[in-house]
């Protein structure tokens, strides 16, 4: 557990830098979104292929939506995805 504490301490220190914080916050949004999509799909016991069929798209598109490095989400796609998964999209500027 010592390594974990060191990482958290280092991250806490790095986040004090405004430029690092900005980049970290942006990356966290995309990664969080991709993880949420994958978790909800898995919780619904759907494969990427099954979800793709419901969205009238390809499995590769679903894979891209679940990729933490993807930065090309459209709000329209997220709304459609949310409806198919029985969820809704909430966008906030805080």
Predicted local distance difference test score (pLDDT) of residue 26: 84
Sign of CA dihedral 78, 66, 72, 21: positive
Domain chopping of the chain, boundaries: 2-84
Q: Residue 88's closest CA among 35, 40, 62, 78?
A: 78
- 66 within 8 A of 48, measured Cβ to Cβ: yes
Chain segment 6-54, per-residue pLDDT in tens = 888 998 999 999 999 998 888 899 999 999 999 999 999 999 999 999 9
pTM for the full predicted model: 0.79
3 state SS for 18-85: HHHHHHHHHHHHHHHHHHHHHHHHHHCCCCHHHHHHHHCCCHHHHHHHCCCCCCCCCHHHHHHHHHHC
Which CATH code is given to the segment(s) 2-84?
1.10.260.40
């Amino acid at each position: 557990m010592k390594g974990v504490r060191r990482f958290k301490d280092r991250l806490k220190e790095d986040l004090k830098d405004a430029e690092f914080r900005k980049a970290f916050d942006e990356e966290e949004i995309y990664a969080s979104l991709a993880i949420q999509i994958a978790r909800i799909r898995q919780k619904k016991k759907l494969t990427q292929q099954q979800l793709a069929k419901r969205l009238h798209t390809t499995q590769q598109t679903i894979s891209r939506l679940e990729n933490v490095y993807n930065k090309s989400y459209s709000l329209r796609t997220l709304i459609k995805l949310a409806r198919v998964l029985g969820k809704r999209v909430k966008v906030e500027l805080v």
